[in-house]
Amino acid sequence: MDLDLIVSGGTVFDGTGAPGRRADVGIKDGRVVTVSAVPLEPGTGTRVVDATGRWVTPGFVDAHTHYDAELVVAPGLHESVRHGVTSVLIGNCSISAVYSSPVDVADLFSRVEALPRPAVLAALEERKTWSTPAQWRAALEASPMGPHVASFLGHSDVRGSVMGLGRATDPDQKATAADMREVERRLEEALDEGFLGISTMTNPWDKLDGDRYRSRSLPSTYASWKEFRRISRILRRRGRVLQGVPNLNKKYDVAFYLATSTGLGREPLKVSLLSAADTKAEPWVRRIFGPLAFLANRVGRGRFVWQHLPTTFKVWADGIDLVVFEEFGSGREALHLRDEMRSELLQDEAYRRWFRQDFDKRFSPRVWHRDFDDAEITECPDASLVGRTIGDVARERGVHAVDCYLDLVVAYGTDLRWTTPIANTRAKVQEKLLTTPGVTIGFSDAGAHLRNMAFYNFGICLLRKVHEAQRTRKPFLSVEQAVHKLTGELADFYGIDAGRLVEGARADLVVVDPRGLDASVDGYHEAVFEELGGLSRMVNRNDAAVHATVVSGTVVWEAGEFAEGYGRDFATGRFLPAGEPAPMRKRPVASPARVAAGA
């Protein structure tokens, strides 16, 4: 057989959880035609990727991204693909870009996901030609899409489009019977088009951007339990997925997500919830994730999972621009104002007293542990402050840590850059979470929080943990189990055609070099994102770990370089409809020449 591509000499982990084996992978017309223990002979036109000494796995599935806007301007999604991701799920956390107008989409996304609103709005006003799920899918299919894309319908998107964003975020306005019927009709329309299900939000911390309804919570947070139950019935009947974010103020609505998943006397509903994390603010919470999943799945016969980030959750902030300040009233007040209007507020003594009171409350709901001794200054016009903690600077100045911080923000604005770890800082606790039934890999937030965090390489982070544990003879997962969690487990739960490296499967794979699973995996870099306003965004750069990424049988990344024209001149990705194999697009022909990464 004259194969198009051979990945030769690697240890193949097929995504099923089976042990790795030495094999050659033969690919033709975008499909795996053989996984052979016998070395394959290349034909005259066969390209060969040498995987000797490397691991060959299915392409990673990123189950939690906010790439909805980035797909419009840069559909190659380079920052994920270079780290082995070949399938992404969009439309999470109740926000998608399907039904709403460009200005409404910009207001839904920009503050919640820390995206530059002017650039997002300009891109959507220029390029948004769709207003239905079928048109959105067609627009994706017509673009030079790099990885494959599966999508949730965002509840805030559909609810806001039906009621109008003003009514949908007014606590005095309730959805009428006609409103709910139209929301349900539009949800059915999306499910008919292959959408995964719907994503919801009950956490009131996430706010709208823009000038019309600024600082109102997202539309999904105003929905009644009756609305959510009606949505769940549709998803249960259609065998689709409910993705949710619980109310972090009260937490009791986790019970709704657990209960709606159960299958006692009915079909279970797939529910995926944020987030299983070992937070520094509430370290006791990590003990509940396993028991709650057990209660829903084993006792209640449900299909409930948590999403988990398999690395330390560390965030950066420019001044006060960080989502954790949405947790408390004084922080929200500052984020409500534009940058140029904040200085006067932050100098006001009454405001400072309010901020100190919020900061010092010991038992208020929180994700951020509010410890400025754990906040390191990484950039500042005053170079003498770089490398020091805000708490240390406060003691030197003889002032409260909050006053020191606010003084620094007033003096330097967004030129003050600092970082703090939020969660997953205890290695043994995270290992326990990673092996807890009902905890899946997710929550990379790729495509969002461009100046706050970068977890595009979440899969490589997990493989590094596993590899290091094996090297120290303290394994907690095998490589095959880790690969399964990054690929087949996610594909099976969400019902998409991905996550397997077996004969007949679409040829989406990554070649990982275990020698590159080193400290570079945890590094932080910045790269200019020209397509979204020239913003310098946080990225990962561990190119020695990912030797090659193949999408639909095409080598799109190899040896630190993208294929020429990738993400611009040809497409490798498809829209992945839920519950059915995605039809193959004719394999694109890319030039064997390549250009430097990021070109």
Q: What is the pLDDT of residues 316-360, one digit of tens each?
A: 999 999 999 999 999 999 999 977 688 999 999 999 999 999 999
- What confidence tier does 594 reach under pLDDT thresholds 50, 70, 90? very low
pLDDT surpasses 60 at 584: no
pLDDT tens digits for range 300-320: 999 999 999 999 999 999 999
Separation between Cα atoms, residue 73 and residue 58, nearest integer Å: 27
Looking at per-residue confidence, does 247 or 396 come out higher? Answer: 396
The string of DSSP letters for 375-416 reads -EEEE-SSGGGTTSBHHHHHHHHTS-HHHHHHHHHHHHGGG-
The predicted-structure confidence for 371-398, as pLDDT tens digits, reads as follows: 999 999 999 999 999 999 999 999 999 9
pTM for the predicted model, two decimal places: 0.95
Phi, psi of 348 (to 5 degrees): -75, 130
Q: Residue 300: how many CB atoms within 10 A of its CB? A: 17
Helix, strand or coil for residue 557?
A: strand
Structure tokens at 183: 């929301």
> Is the pLDDT at 588 greater than 60, yes or no?
no
5 pLDDT higher than 80: yes
Q: List, in order of start, the domains of the chain with CATH numbers.
A: 1-312+435-572+580-599 (3.20.20.140), 322-422 (no CATH)
DSSP codes of every residue in 428-464: HHHHHHHTSTTEEE----BTS-TTT---TTHHHHHHH
CA distance 183 to 195: 15
Q: Which of 363, 364, 346 is nearest to 404 (CA)?
A: 346
φ and ψ of 408, to 5 deg: -65, -40
- Check whether 592 has a pLDDT greater than 80: no
What's the CA gap between 157 and 200, in Å, rounded?
A: 10
* Beta-strand pair 21-28/55-58: unpaired
pLDDT digits (tens, 9 = 90+) for 414-449: 999 999 999 999 999 999 999 999 999 999 999 999
Classify the phi-psi angles of 567: left when phi > 0, otherwise alpha if psi is within -120 to 50, otherwise beta: left
Taking residues 395-404, report their average pLDDT: 97
**In the prediction, which pLDDT does 12 show?**
98
Yes or no: say if 231 and 153 are a contact pair by the CB < 8 Å rule: no
Query: CA 376 → CA 407, 421, 519, distances in Å?
Result: 16, 10, 20
